[in-house]
Amino acid sequence: MGKINLLSQETIDKIAAGEVVERPASVAKELIENSIDAGATAISVEIKGGGIEYLRITDNGSGIDKDQIQIAFLRHSTSKIENAADLANVRSLGFRGEALSSISAVAKVELITKTKDSLLGASYIIEGAKEVSLTDIGAPNGTTFIIRQLFFNTPARKKFLKSESTEGSFVFDVVEHLALSHPEISFKFLLNGKEKLMTSGNGVLSDTIYQIYGRQIASNVLEINYKDERVSINGFIGKSVIARGNRAFEHFFVNNRYIKSNNLSRACEEGYYGFLMGHQYPFFVININFEDGAVDVNVHPTKQEVRFEDEAFILEILTKVINDRLRKREDVLEAHIDEPKASAPAPVIETYSEFVSKPAVEQESDSSSYEVSNDSVSEKEPEIIPPVKVKLPEPFERDRLEKIKAQVTSQIRQDTPYEKKFAENNLDKTKYEQISFLKQEAVKEHKIIGQVFDTYWIIEYDKNMYIIDQHAAHEKVLFEKTMARLKNNEMTSQMVSPPVIISLSPQDVLLFENYHEAFEKLGFRVESFGGNELAINGVPGNLLNLDPKTFFLEILSDCESFKASDSFDMIVERVASMSCKAAVKGNNKLSIPEIKTLIDDLLKLDNPYHCPHGRPTMISFSEYELAKKFKRIV
């Protein structure tokens, strides 16, 4: 063993910084969370060079007293908790007391801060954990952190950063998550001098979703609300039309803290089962709030992982809340003859930006120089204080900010097609949703036009043309009937004579053994025939028209996609969905009485709009869309 050395404080600080400060986004997260904990209602974030060269966070929070500044940069110094007992009831976003110490150890930091009761603010500069200066300065209430040359003294760490554009996108993700979890705070994000995001801070989550993601997303979300004595769940979940091919649009917040959890993601995705196709993932912004002590946030240095007191209960409730909400509304896919291109955030954002970009004071590109306008000086401040050049961040223009909130909220309401439709026609949304295409009252008004390609049925109703995929619709009807029989223990088996013998690989034999109970519950009767062979003695009573061997092998192959965490009931349900291969196929001619019977069967289902695999059973084209295509409307 080599010589044992006591590390210097500088080395200790750099090692500790490695746990908290991974990249510019880590710095932004810690500082913005501090701003939120300080009671800020407006936060501005500006980066240059991906945040590596320059990162500024400005807020209008409570500020830091001058005599507390140096203490704030010491390790394990925090205003959020006092002792270990407080960890069980942490509600603030930051509490470890390592952020400022860690950041200042690997960057050049300038702090400008002022409390509302102070006549002057303070400027504190610390570089690589070494103090440079602490002086008085004229400043608005709140705090500004300017971080320059991240990892300037640890070049080995800097080499592992990605490109400036990628690092900048990580910072944007942080701002996005915090804006979604705190819609009551106005967030502004500038990248290389250009405004990329501005939220109104009016406290309405749906408006924040609109401001971040634009019209197409915001007009296709459903609100969820659940509350009991242990937990409350609220937020918005997306309809199937805005599903994506990855989990980038899945946002979880626990007590308003952004977290990552594979278990929560799976629970939500299970709630969408039957509403989305395979390899599609939903959009959602979900906040889960617990009573004190029911969740442990002190699990990981970045605080993005949590531990639940009763995770199984939360997962079950979350799945149920989402599934119940999706089943409560019509979800017919509205198709467009000319599909619109994916657009940037809605035009209202541009109007909004133009409104806020008119400076109340002269702005300079170098934020190290500041100029306070006379309006920003408290009436209590004596005139002898000389004016100091300070750049006043826009979030502090309170009157203008309130006007912005009102304007953007009003514009969003007008600009969202769903809201506009009912406002212009003075319609009751609740009443409208009740009389949907598949309600009994609506069926009486259906006008069946006919069948095309021996697969799709065209039906006219309420100035819309509906197209039903007969295979997907019949498949869903069979699935629901199968699940009903399972629930009522009414599944039957039809014996096969002579038995059908199947030769399998050793891996497939093991796969069947893992799921044989699910097969049996559905009506399959299968036993070992020696070696790697199985004998099929019986099949589900309602699936006699399928080839037993081909059908069994298809379902067994699909079982490979099951996860170890899937419950028995979940497996049974998925096997049941596979059994719907007996559904009428495309290219089969159906009569009008048969399609009417199929529609009547759809009427009885909770979710008639998607087949068991998530494909739509029907789509619609509006009269307006057709008129546009034929140039009747320009």
Q: Which amino acid, 606? A: D
Residues 6+ apart with CB under 8 A from 384: none
Taking the CB of residue 83, how many other CB atoms lie within 10 A of it?
Answer: 6
Q: Summarize pLDDT for 610-627 with one digit per residue, the tens.
A: 887 778 888 888 888 888
Rounded CA gap, 298 and 318, in Å? 23
Same domain, yes or no: 456 and 568: yes
What are the tokens at 72?
């704030």
pLDDT band at 337 (very low <50, low <70, confident <90, very high): low
Q: Residue 282: what are its φ and ψ, rounded to 5°?
A: -80, 165
Q: Summarize pLDDT for 140-149 with one digit per residue, the tens.
A: 999 999 999 9
Rounded CA gap, 614 and 391, in Å? 54
Specify the CATH number for the domain of residue 530: 3.30.1540.20
Rounded CA gap, 387 and 384, in Å? 9
State which of 198, 226, 257 marks the end of a domain.
Answer: 198
Taking the CB of residue 486, how many other CB atoms lie within 10 A of it?
Answer: 17
Rounded CA gap, 53 and 148, in Å? 5
Which of the two residues, 578 and 455, has the higher pLDDT score?
A: 455
The answer, yes or no, to whether residue 483 has pLDDT greater than 90, is no
DSSP 518-529: HHHHHT-EEEE-
Lowest-confidence segment of 59-63, 151-155, 331-335, 348-352 by average pLDDT: 348-352
Rounded CA gap, 139 and 372, in Å? 7
Burial class (CB in 10 A: 0-12, 13-18, 19+), 504: middle
User: Tell me, what's the pLDDT at 63?
Assistant: 94
Rounded CA gap, 215 and 630, in Å? 26
Q: Summarize pLDDT for 73-87 with one digit per residue, the tens.
A: 886 545 444 444 444
Rounded CA gap, 183 and 420, in Å? 23
Span 587-601, mean pLDDT?
A: 82
Same domain, yes or no: 141 and 37: yes
Same domain, yes or no: 510 and 615: yes
Rounded CA gap, 332 and 334, in Å? 6
What are the tokens at 64?
């830091």
Q: Which of 139, 150, 134 is nearest to 55 (CA)?
A: 150
Q: Summarize pLDDT for 485-534 with one digit per residue, the tens.
A: 777 777 788 888 888 888 888 888 888 888 888 888 878 899 888 878 88
Domain assignment present for residue 491? The answer is yes
Q: Residue 532: what are its φ and ψ, rounded to 5°?
A: -105, 25
Domain assignment present for residue 404? The answer is no
**Percent of the chain clearing pLDDT 90 (strictly above):** 25
Per the CB < 8 A criterion, the answer to whether 379 and 419 are in contact is no
Length of the chain: 634
Which of the two residues, 33 and 378, has the higher pLDDT score?
A: 33
State which of 315, 334, 353 marks the end of a domain.
Answer: 334
Rounded CA gap, 208 and 408, in Å? 10
Rounded CA gap, 252 and 256, in Å? 9
User: Tell me, what's the pLDDT at 76?
Assistant: 57
State which of 303, 334, 365 marks the end of a domain.
Answer: 334
618 pairs with which residues across the strands? 468
Q: Residue 213: what are its φ and ψ, rounded to 5°?
A: -105, -15
> Total structural domains in the chain?
3
Same domain, yes or no: 153 and 220: no
The answer, yes or no, to whether residue 8 has pLDDT greater than 90, is no
Q: Domain containing 189: what range?
A: 9-198
Same domain, yes or no: 471 and 560: yes
Same domain, yes or no: 130 and 219: no
Residues 6+ apart with CB under 8 A from 228: none
Q: Which of 207, 99, 107 is nearest to 147 (CA)?
A: 107
Domain assignment present for residue 401? The answer is no
Domain assignment present for residue 187? The answer is yes
495 pairs with which residues across the strands? 538
Same domain, yes or no: 180 and 225: no
Q: Summarize pLDDT for 172-188 with one digit per residue, the tens.
A: 999 999 999 999 999 99
Taking the mean position of all CA atoms in its chain, how far away is CA 65?
Answer: 37
Which of the two residues, 301 and 251, has the higher pLDDT score?
A: 251
Q: For residue 323, what is the DSSP state?
A: H
Q: Which amino acid, 320? A: K
Residues 6+ apart with CB under 8 A from 415: 215, 346, 347, 348
Same domain, yes or no: 115 and 223: no
Domain assignment present for residue 340? The answer is no
What are the C-alpha distances in Å from 531 to residues 288, 501, 546? Answer: 51, 12, 26
What are the tokens at 373?
């306008």
Same domain, yes or no: 187 and 225: no
User: Tell me, what's the pLDDT at 145?
Assistant: 96
Domain assignment present for residue 4? The answer is no
526 pairs with which residues across the strands? 536
pTM for the whole thing?
0.62
Rounded CA gap, 170 and 164, in Å? 10
Angle between helices 24-37 and 164-181 (to 10 degrees): 20
Specify the CATH number for the domain of residue 105: 3.30.565.10
Span 367-383, mean pLDDT?
A: 37
Per the CB < 8 A criterion, the answer to whether 435 and 329 are in contact is no
Domain assignment present for residue 135? The answer is yes
Taking the mean position of all CA atoms in its chain, how far away is CA 427?
Answer: 31
Same domain, yes or no: 221 and 179: no
Domain assignment present for residue 380? The answer is no
Q: Which amino acid, 545? A: N
Q: For residue 2, what is the DSSP state?
A: -
Same domain, yes or no: 194 and 312: no
Average pLDDT, the chain: 76
Residues 6+ apart with CB under 8 A from 225: 232, 233, 234
Q: For residue 490, what is the DSSP state?
A: -
Sign of CA dihedral 161, 165, 171, 174: negative
What are the tokens at 166?
């990628």
The answer, yes or no, to whether residue 362 has pLDDT greater than 50, is no
User: Tell me, what's the pLDDT at 546?
Assistant: 67
Q: In what order do the strands lie in the sheet with 333-334?
A: 333-334, 618-622, 464-469, 456-461, 447-452
* Kind plus residue range of the DSSP H or E element containing 411: helix 398-415
Rounded CA gap, 398 and 42, in Å? 9
Same domain, yes or no: 40 and 169: yes
Specify the CATH number for the domain of residue 307: 3.30.230.10
